Amino acid sequence: MLTLIVVFGPAATKWYGILQKYINVGSKNATIAARVAADQIVFAPCNLALFLTTMSVMEGGDPKEKLRKTWLPGLEANWVLWPAVQAVNFKMVPLQYQVLVVNMVSLGWNCFLSWLNSST
């Protein structure tokens, strides 16, 4: 939870501002698709690695081993849920509330990641 508050909130706020400012292509739907793609290709892998590393360190484990075992399954699961969440988020939610939406969905998502982290 500390990672969410200290790292994710500020990082996501900055990231969404970058997406809003720099990713604008053709139509509104093309822009949304490009933002979702950038989010999932750039931000998601880094954010997942940070989460898994933090969890491993707080548990007294080996972060490298945890990443080796759980990063790819976690990223694959991420790509099942988050593109749809972000598409709706970017299309319907004003920029100032996008991090709030992600934080609400993240409550369940982080429980899943914790379970994935503990099951490997």
**99 burial class (0-12, 13-18, 19+ CB within 10 angstroms)?**
buried
Query: Is the overall model pTM greater than 0.75, yes or no?
Result: yes
Confidence label for 24 from pLDDT (cuts 50, 70 and 90): very high
Q: Inform me whether the pLDDT recorded for 27 exceeds 70.
A: yes
| Mean of the per-residue pLDDT values of the chain | 88
Counting DSSP H helices and E strands in the chain, the numbers are 6, 0
Per-residue pLDDT tens digits for 41-91: 999 999 889 888 888 888 899 999 989 999 999 999 999 999 999 999 999
DSSP 26: S
The Cα–Cα gap between 18 and 9 comes to: 14
Q: Both tokens of residue 117?
A: 């982290």
Residues 93-115: what's their mean pLDDT? 86
Choose between 67 and 114: higher pLDDT.
67
Q: Inform me whether the pLDDT recorded for 18 exceeds 60.
A: yes
CA nearest 51: which of 109, 3, 99? 3
